[in-house]
Every structure is written in structure tokens, then in C-alpha cells.
Chains A and B, each alone.
Chain A
Amino acid sequence: MNAEERYTPLNWPDHPETQTLEGKNKFLGFWLFLAGETVLFASLFATYLALKDSVPDSSHPLAKDLFNLPLVFAMTMILLTSSITSVYAIYHMRNYHFKKMQAWFVITVLLGAGFLALEIYEFTHYVHEYHFTFGSSAFSSAYYTLVGTHGAHVTFGLCWIIALLVRNAKRGLNLYNAPKYYVASLYWHFIDVVWVFIFTVVYLIGKVG
């Protein structure tokens, strides 16, 4: 297995991510992990739905009092855009354009950081404006746990992609790190998938009632 061998755009394989046995294993193992994550997030969604608007008394804010749709819309747009930028990165990976791939991943990271900043702003806003804290009601606990777990995934994803970008900056692209990039982009898309359900189930349906 010559994972560290140098390649040219000509002899670079069509699917570098699954060219080596290690790559195949990573690819499959990561999809399996995502299946587990699907059930994990489903459990959090289920908890949220069971505890939605479940508060000790009427002084506590409900979903429809809290959410600010323009902000959520902005966050959604940013995260969706970061999804297409990571698709571009993988496109360039398959074409063996290391520099372009790195550049698109940098854009992805910047967008992800922007999303995270808005989310932190949102949380602090709820805490200060509505006294809607992690422990104020069952509803607040469920909300922060679901959206916060997603946020933690975004944070982890950012650190992961940054680590990849830094460690490989001098090494360039090879069959050893191509699967790593590919799998990181899968993770990033999965974060987006979860967000699609969060903005629909938590924010939009929360606003509808």
C-alpha cells in the first residue's frame, strides 16, 4: 500500500477516498457512525418534542415567544452555503487540485465559524432577554440540549477540518489523507442534515405553535 506515494493529476484515481483498504474502511466505518448519529439525534428530537412548551408555570417563555425567524434564516443560509463549499472542496480533491481544495475548506470553516457565532449570540440573547436558561424549565433543557449538541458537532467539525488543513498544508494530497478529507466533508454534510430538521422542527414548527 503506497499511501504516501506522490501522484499527478493524471494518475490520481477517480475515487481517491476508497482507493486503499484503509480508505474503504474509513468510508464505510464513517457511514456506519453516521447511522448511529442519526439515532442519537432522533433521540434528542424525540425528547424535545415530548417536552416542547412544557414549563412549570405561565411566566416561562414558550417556543412561539422566543424564536426569531430572520436570525434563524441567516444561520440556515450560512450553513447551507458551507455545505456547497465543502462539495467544491471534494470536487477539487477528486481533480487533484490540492490548493483549491484547501481554499474551499477554508471558506467552509469561515462560514461554519460564522454560524457558530450567530448561535452563541442567539443563546445569550435568550438568556438575557427572556431568562430562558438551561435549567429554567424542561422545555429549555430540551431545547438547549438538542440545539447545543448540534452546535457542539459544528465546533468539533471546525476543529477537525482545521487540524486537517494545517497538518496537510506541507504534505499535499495523497491516498493517506484523501479519505480523511472525504470523511470530514461527510461529517459536515451530516451536520447540515441535522440542521435542516432543527430549523424545521424546532424553529418553524415552534413558531407555528
Chain B
Amino acid sequence: MENEQVKNPNLRAHHDYRRKKSAKEMQVQVITFALMIFLTIVAFIAVGIGDFSVKFIIPFILLLAVIQVGFQLYYFMHASQKGHELPMFFMYSAVIIAFVTVLAFVTIIWW
């Protein structure tokens, strides 16, 4: 059985194709990683310089964090691949509730 599969040229071709494809995917992952490191450094430097106004810097570094988390989810955790529709639906539902919770805690708890 196993021997048949090795001899099967289609299987070999598929295997080679897949190797190439995942090697390419891995390249994208490494680029993503470089971008994440870059975003992190930008955030730290922006705060470290300490020259920017608070009103600018807080939304700015939050935006960097959100982008970075997007990279984690869609590349590192493979959410951009097929079969992640339902998990992502639940993740986004969770994000909505998470957002509402945090919003409530920074707006209507004040004393």
C-alpha cells in the first residue's frame, strides 16, 4: 500500500507543490514577524521620546497593537486560511463584547 503511494507520480507532484507552497507561506510569516517587531519598536520609541501629546500617542500605539494582533491572528494563527469562518465569527463576537466591557469600565465607572 505504502509503496504504491510512493510510486504514484501524482502524489509526488502534489507533495512537491505543497512543499513549495508552504515554503512560500513561511516566507510571508517571516516578513510578518519582521513587521511586528518593527511596529513594536515604533511603539516603544514613540513613548520613549515622550514628546508627543497624550491625545495622539494613546490612539497611535493602540492602533499599532491592533495591527499587530491582526498579524498574529491572520498569519501566525492561520485565520486567513480556509475553514476559519466560524471560529472567526465567534472571535469577533467575543471582541465586540470585550470592547463593550472595556468601554463601559472606562466611561461609566467614575467614582
Mark A residues whose CB is within 8 Å of B. 8-11, 14-15, 18, 27-28, 31-32, 34-36, 38-39, 41-43, 45-47, 49-50, 69, 73, 76-77, 80, 83-84, 87-88, 91, 94-95, 186, 189-190, 192-193, 196-197, 199-201, 204-205, 207-209
Contacts and interface: CB of A to CB of B under 8 A. Distances in A.
Nearest to B2: A8
Contact of B22 (A10, A77, A94): A94
12 contacts: A31-B91, A34-B87, A39-B98, A42-B98, A42-B99, A42-B101, A46-B106, A50-B109, A87-B33, A193-B72, A197-B69, A205-B58
Main secondary structure of the interface of B (DSSP, over half): helix
Contacts, number: 132
Contacts of A45: 102
Contacts of B37: 77, 80
Most chain A CB atoms below 10 A, which of B12, B48, B76, B87: B76
Given A80-B37, A80-B40, A204-B47, A193 B73 contact: yes
Contacts of A91: 22, 25-26, 29
A34 B76 CA distance: 15
Contacts of A36: 94
Nearest to B1: A11
Given A49-B106, A83-B76, A200 B62 contact: yes
Given A10-B12, A39-B98, A200-B61, A192 B86 contact: no
Given A35-B93, A87-B29, A208 B22 contact: no
Contact of A189 (B19, B43, B77): B77
Nearest to B99: A42
Interface string B72-101: 110011000001101100110111011101
